Chain A
Amino acid sequence: MSNNKKVTIKDFCHKTGQLVELDVPEFAPLPPPYDKLDLQPKFKALADETKEKYETDLDGITAVKFPRPETEEEKRELVGKFLSGLKKLFDRENNWGFLQPLFLTIEYCAKCQTCASACPIYNESGEQDIYRPTFRAELLRRLYKSYVKKGGRFLAKISGDDIDATWAMVARTMELAYRCSVCRRCAQTCPIGVDNGLVTRELRKIFSQEMGITVEPLHKKGSVQQLEKGSSTGMTPVAFLDNIEFLEEEMEERTGLNFKWPMDKAGAEILLIHNAGEYLAWPENPEAFAIILDAAGIDYTLSSDLMGYDSVNYGVWYDDVQFAKVALKHAQIAKELGVKKIVLGECGHAHKALTVIADRVFTGDFNIPRESSLTLLHEIVKQNALKLDPSRNDHIVTTLHDPCNVVRLMGIVEPQREVLKAVSNNFREMAPHGVHNYCCGGGSGFAITQDLNFPDWRNSVSCRAKLRQILDVFQDIIEPEHNKYVCAPCSNCKGAMRDMFTYYGLFERCNILYGGLVELIVNAMVDIREGFLEWEWH
């Protein structure tokens, strides 16, 4: 074990034992009140027996929980499978969807390290070499040169960038593919246009698509469960309808509105799909949507069809085939209902999955227009379809978190701001924001990866940049007597924040809450009973 942050590719392939040791005091310092180290939770070290059981030789953390192979034979076999997946990654037919961007990244990086300055995980970790955006890319580049390119190994030896495919390397790469949230800030700063964030996803694909090695909450309990039961939450269509009924009652109690959700209405203008996690964890969000759309007279429907009520598509994070399966299912449901468009609720990755990436999966009648709810909400507010009184939110100071998938990766920047400004007089921007925002830290599946000590890593490393931004934007009113609200219009970001806020006690210590955008809108609607937004932690 070494405390040395400087790691070479050679170390990565050949050193035995845990490569780096993470320690809270080495991470980038935080603004008050978390400048005091004793307010930062200790890193949970894994028990020795856990370390012996699972591959944790990268940094003592595990997202994949891959059992250590016992024999050399097993290791050889796994390395062989890895290399066969590697070859498919560069194959025209097997990886058509990303071959060109991948190839460009592999071929043209000049190793200027400009991207390192943009990476929150690298910088917040105290500049751990292994988290450098170029590190994964360099691994993949050398693997490509040594094992895929014809005659490559000989030339790679001459140029000095050959690599040995050892089991240590494969095991560490497996974990390293889950230490980047694919926010793609690195790609934004690259002078050449290389995309090291993409490399993360491509590496995950080798493990998932070839070796069947995945992170359980993403695959088995994620996309597989969604395809089988209808939702990655495990909620079946029957359970969904039960839930809806329950929420209708609850909403009546809360708001006094007698309300029924439009369900499976054929020919409706819009099919609205939420992240199903909202119904369970933040039901006030779909409720607020219902109130707003009803008040604005929008013709829409929900779907209780298998998968029609869960917009998530975890394939976007690790697997092209799972991605396509889920996306096609969503399109098919919309097609059968005969809606004019699909509108996605406040869920970032679902936005990017269905509107952007899947645009090149849908052909013919499957290509039904897809739109962001933020755009729709902006239109509703612009048309003055709601009676709003922003002073109802005057007791709260708000800031806006930009979900990477919606903003940097889709260019939806202003609608949510315009809406927020229309319902909040005390809005302030984080720095940086918009397309240059920092990831919540829960991107690419991190928010739902809860096993062992991965949440410690997420909360203290990958969420750290966002935590810093939140503390900074509210620094002058950080005392608990001021109500502060981080508006995060994305289920996944909210999931990451829920954990991070709990981990650091942000609500108790600083009185900061997080939540969606629609809740603030409804809270400002004059026709709705005051106090829709409850100022309490739940």
Chain B
Amino acid sequence: MSELQLLMYVAYVVFFIGTAYRARKMATMPVHLRWDLYPIPHEKNKHHYGGSYFEEIDWWTKPAEVSVTSELKEMSKEIIFIQSMYYNNRPLWIFSFPFHFGLYLSIVFVLMIFLSGFLGIFGFEVSGTTSNFIGRALHYLTMPFGIIGSVLGCFGAVGLLISRLTREELKRTSVRSDYFNLVLLIAVFASGLYVWATEDMTYTDLRAFFTNLVSFKGTEPVSTGFAIHMILAAAFLIYLPFTHMTHFVGKYFTYHKVRWEDEANVKGSKLEKRITEALGYRINWSAPHIKKGTWAEAATATEDGGQNE
């Protein structure tokens, strides 16, 4: 087994564990106070103007009118087209959108390459000449996804980097790591494109590499270009979980667990249980008006300590 292969295993393991750790950390946080923000798309007949069930008289006696389709529609507009940026920050959207779209295509590309690798274990051939339709489809589909994905991703990332370097307001608020993230991504995309253009137009080498990778077999020696691209991709995967670029995880929580979370607290509910638990947490803020003890005690304290002078 080559060092390169080993690095790839490490990269995938770090990526998945790191990302899962992040998601778990967010998911196991205590219940928070309601902090919803309208419009909320699952409000069935009210989403289009930002309305909520609070508009209904005695809302607690009526069933919640929830629309999953409306929520999914809103999510896809946001995930695929980044609509909030389209409407509120067009100059950056022209780079951010192709960048993210390029990433999505690249992810599908990598998944297809993985799939080809798995199929390869069972001797299933993925190529342009195989008689099997799926094998041919995988062979031909990887090309547009890989090429367009890398071109868009590269273009977008370069655009974002130039924006950060030249647009006054972005420049002033950017730090080293912001530039580094983009440079690393550009390097991944560009090196991929370079390998594709100079030696692997049909992604055959890449597929072979992944077939060996998923079957834990030693690999043929690869070209320097290929190795550099793989090292960069691995470095990115290892680095990613430690950065804000994991916002694909964060976004689930910011939207579904904060902004769109309008679950009412009902007597006897699971939510009520979580609240009761939180009210039992200890509080040790130091200001004189706060009684130490549990939150329940602090919130029902009648005497009001010293005041701010």
By a beta-carbon cutoff of 8 Å, the part of chain A in contact with chain B is 6, 8, 81, 84-85, 88, 92-94, 96-101, 103-104, 107-118, 129, 132, 134, 138, 158-161, 184, 187-195, 198, 208-214, 216, 219-220, 224, 227-228, 320-322, 324-325, 328, 341, 355-364, 367, 369, 371-372, 375-376, 378-379, 407-415, 434-436
Q: Please tell me if the beta carbons of A357 and B35 are within 8 angstroms of each other in the complex.
A: yes
Q: State in angstroms the CA–CA spacing of A465 and B113 once bound together.
A: 53
Q: Please tell me if the beta carbons of B254 and A321 are within 8 angstroms of each other in the complex.
A: no
5 A-B pairs with the lowest CB-CB distances in the bound complex, closest first: A411-B52, A193-B254, A435-B50, A160-B176, A159-B177
Q: Please tell me if the beta carbons of B272 and A187 are within 8 angstroms of each other in the complex.
A: no
Q: Please tell me if the beta carbons of B84 and A108 are within 8 angstroms of each other in the complex.
A: no
Stretch at the interface among B136-144, B197-205, B258-266: B258-266
Chain A residues with Cβ below 8 Å from B307 are 212, 219-220, 224
Q: Please tell me if the beta carbons of A435 and B38 are within 8 angstroms of each other in the complex.
A: yes
Q: Please tell me if the beta carbons of A328 and B300 are within 8 angstroms of each other in the complex.
A: yes
Stretch at the interface among B7-15, B219-227, B243-251: B243-251
Chain B residues with Cβ below 8 Å from A414 are 46, 49, 51, 55
Within 8 Å by CB of B85, from A103, A114, A410, lies A114
Chain A residues with Cβ below 8 Å from B39 are 411, 435
Q: Please tell me if the beta carbons of A325 and B173 are within 8 angstroms of each other in the complex.
A: no
CB 8 Å contact bits of B245-288 with A (1 = contact, 0 = none): 11100110111011100101111000110011011011111111
Stretch at the interface among B23-31, B104-112, B123-131, B207-215: B23-31
Within 8 Å by CB of A88, from B32, B56, B284, B306, lies B284
Q: Please tell me if the beta carbons of B289 and A360 are within 8 angstroms of each other in the complex.
A: no
Q: State in angstroms the CA–CA spacing of A415 and B299 once bound together.
A: 34
CB-CB nearest in chain A for B301: A325
Supposing A104-B258, A324-B295 touch, asked if A112 and B92 sit within 8 A by C-beta, the answer is yes
Which of A81, A134, A435 has the largest count of B CB atoms less than 10 A from its CB?
A435
Chain A residues with Cβ below 8 Å from B168 are 6
Supposing A364-B267, A375-B54 touch, asked if A96 and B169 sit within 8 A by C-beta, the answer is no
CB-CB nearest in chain A for B96: A112
Q: Please tell me if the beta carbons of A189 and B299 are within 8 angstroms of each other in the complex.
A: no
Supposing A113-B170, A363-B279, A412-B55 touch, asked if A193 and B258 sit within 8 A by C-beta, the answer is yes
Q: How close is A451's CB to chain B, nearest CB, in angstroms?
A: 14
Q: Please tell me if the beta carbons of B275 and A187 are within 8 angstroms of each other in the complex.
A: no
Q: Please tell me if the beta carbons of B288 and A212 are within 8 angstroms of each other in the complex.
A: yes
Q: Please tell me if the beta carbons of A357 and B34 are within 8 angstroms of each other in the complex.
A: yes
Stretch at the interface among B57-65, B149-157, B228-236: B57-65
Which of A104, A198, A209 has the largest count of B CB atoms less than 10 A from its CB?
A104
Q: Please tell me if the beta carbons of B250 and A193 are within 8 angstroms of each other in the complex.
A: yes
Q: State in angstroms the CA–CA spacing of A328 and B301 once bound together.
A: 11
Within 8 Å by CB of B38, from A220, A227, A357, A408, lies A408
Within 8 Å by CB of B32, from A6, A101, A114, A341, lies A101
Q: State in angstroms the CA–CA spacing of A159 and B174 once bound together.
A: 10
Q: Please tell me if the beta carbons of A324 and B299 are within 8 angstroms of each other in the complex.
A: yes
Chain A residues with Cβ below 8 Å from B259 are 187, 193, 195
Within 8 Å by CB of A103, from B29, B36, B272, lies B29
Chain A residues with Cβ below 8 Å from B262 are 411
Which of A189, A212, A414 has the largest count of B CB atoms less than 10 A from its CB?
A212
Q: Please tell me if the beta carbons of B35 and A101 are within 8 angstroms of each other in the complex.
A: yes
Q: How close is A324's CB to chain B, nearest CB, in angstroms?
A: 4
Q: Please tell me if the beta carbons of B287 and A208 are within 8 angstroms of each other in the complex.
A: yes
Q: B89: CB under 8 A from chain A?
A: yes
Q: Please tell me if the beta carbons of A360 and B51 are within 8 angstroms of each other in the complex.
A: no
Q: Please tell me if the beta carbons of A111 and B170 are within 8 angstroms of each other in the complex.
A: yes
Q: Please tell me if the beta carbons of B177 and A161 are within 8 angstroms of each other in the complex.
A: yes
Q: State in angstroms the CA–CA spacing of A434 and B100 once bound together.
A: 31
Chain B residues with Cβ below 8 Å from A212 are 286-289, 306-308
Q: Please tell me if the beta carbons of B36 and A409 are within 8 angstroms of each other in the complex.
A: yes
Supposing A101-B35, A360-B32 touch, asked if A114 and B92 sit within 8 A by C-beta, the answer is yes
Supposing A184-B37, A363-B279, A411-B51 touch, asked if A100 and B82 sit within 8 A by C-beta, the answer is no
Supposing A112-B89, A371-B58, A412-B54 touch, asked if A361 and B258 sit within 8 A by C-beta, the answer is no
Q: Please tell me if the beta carbons of A408 and B37 are within 8 angstroms of each other in the complex.
A: yes
Chain B residues with Cβ below 8 Å from A369 are 58, 60
Q: B304: CB under 8 A from chain A?
A: yes
Sampled A-B contacts (12; CB under 8 Å): A85-B285, A108-B244, A108-B250, A189-B89, A191-B85, A193-B258, A195-B37, A224-B304, A227-B304, A359-B265, A413-B51, A414-B55
CB-CB nearest in chain B for A9: B173
Within 8 Å by CB of B265, from A97, A324, A367, A379, lies A367
Q: Please tell me if the beta carbons of B298 and A113 are within 8 angstroms of each other in the complex.
A: no
CB-CB nearest in chain B for A184: B37
Supposing A212-B289, A361-B299, A362-B265 touch, asked if A413 and B26 sit within 8 A by C-beta, the answer is no
Q: Please tell me if the beta carbons of A408 and B50 are within 8 angstroms of each other in the complex.
A: yes
Chain A residues with Cβ below 8 Å from B285 are 85, 88, 94, 209-210, 321
CB 8 Å contact bits of B161-178 with A (1 = contact, 0 = none): 000000011101111111
Q: Please tell me if the beta carbons of B298 and A104 are within 8 angstroms of each other in the complex.
A: no
Q: State in angstroms the CA–CA spacing of A101 and B286 once bound together.
A: 23
Q: Please tell me if the beta carbons of A92 and B30 are within 8 angstroms of each other in the complex.
A: yes
Q: B40: CB under 8 A from chain A?
A: yes
Chain B residues with Cβ below 8 Å from A408 are 37-38, 50
Q: Please tell me if the beta carbons of A321 and B299 are within 8 angstroms of each other in the complex.
A: yes
Q: State in angstroms the CA–CA spacing of A361 and B279 once bound together.
A: 8
Q: Please tell me if the beta carbons of B84 and A190 are within 8 angstroms of each other in the complex.
A: yes
Q: How close is A308's CB to chain B, nearest CB, in angstroms?
A: 16
Q: How close is A166's CB to chain B, nearest CB, in angstroms?
A: 19
- A-B contact sample (5 more), CB < 8 A, given A110-B247, A410-B52, A411-B46: A88-B284, A113-B173, A212-B307, A228-B304, A378-B57
Within 8 Å by CB of A129, from B59, B170, B172, B246, lies B172
Q: State in angstroms the CA–CA spacing of A356 and B37 once bound together.
A: 11
Q: B2: CB under 8 A from chain A?
A: no
Q: How close is B33's CB to chain A, nearest CB, in angstroms?
A: 4
Within 8 Å by CB of B247, from A108, A159, A407, lies A108
Q: Please tell me if the beta carbons of B275 and A363 are within 8 angstroms of each other in the complex.
A: yes
Q: How close is B240's CB to chain A, nearest CB, in angstroms?
A: 13
Q: Please tell me if the beta carbons of A92 and B29 are within 8 angstroms of each other in the complex.
A: yes
Q: State in angstroms the CA–CA spacing of A193 and B259 once bound together.
A: 7
Chain B residues with Cβ below 8 Å from A138 are 173
Q: How close is A121's CB to chain B, nearest CB, in angstroms?
A: 16
Q: Please tell me if the beta carbons of B251 and A192 are within 8 angstroms of each other in the complex.
A: yes
Q: State in angstroms the CA–CA spacing of A100 and B275 once bound together.
A: 14
Q: Please tell me if the beta carbons of B54 and A355 are within 8 angstroms of each other in the complex.
A: yes
Q: Please tell me if the beta carbons of A97 and B33 are within 8 angstroms of each other in the complex.
A: yes
CB-CB nearest in chain B for A415: B55
Q: State in angstroms the CA–CA spacing of A291 and B265 once bound together.
A: 33
Q: State in angstroms the CA–CA spacing of A360 and B266 once bound together.
A: 10
Within 8 Å by CB of B281, from A96, A192, A220, lies A96
Q: How close is A372's CB to chain B, nearest CB, in angstroms?
A: 6
Within 8 Å by CB of B54, from A108, A341, A411, lies A411
Q: How close is B305's CB to chain A, nearest CB, in angstroms?
A: 9
Q: How close is B211's CB to chain A, nearest CB, in angstroms?
A: 36
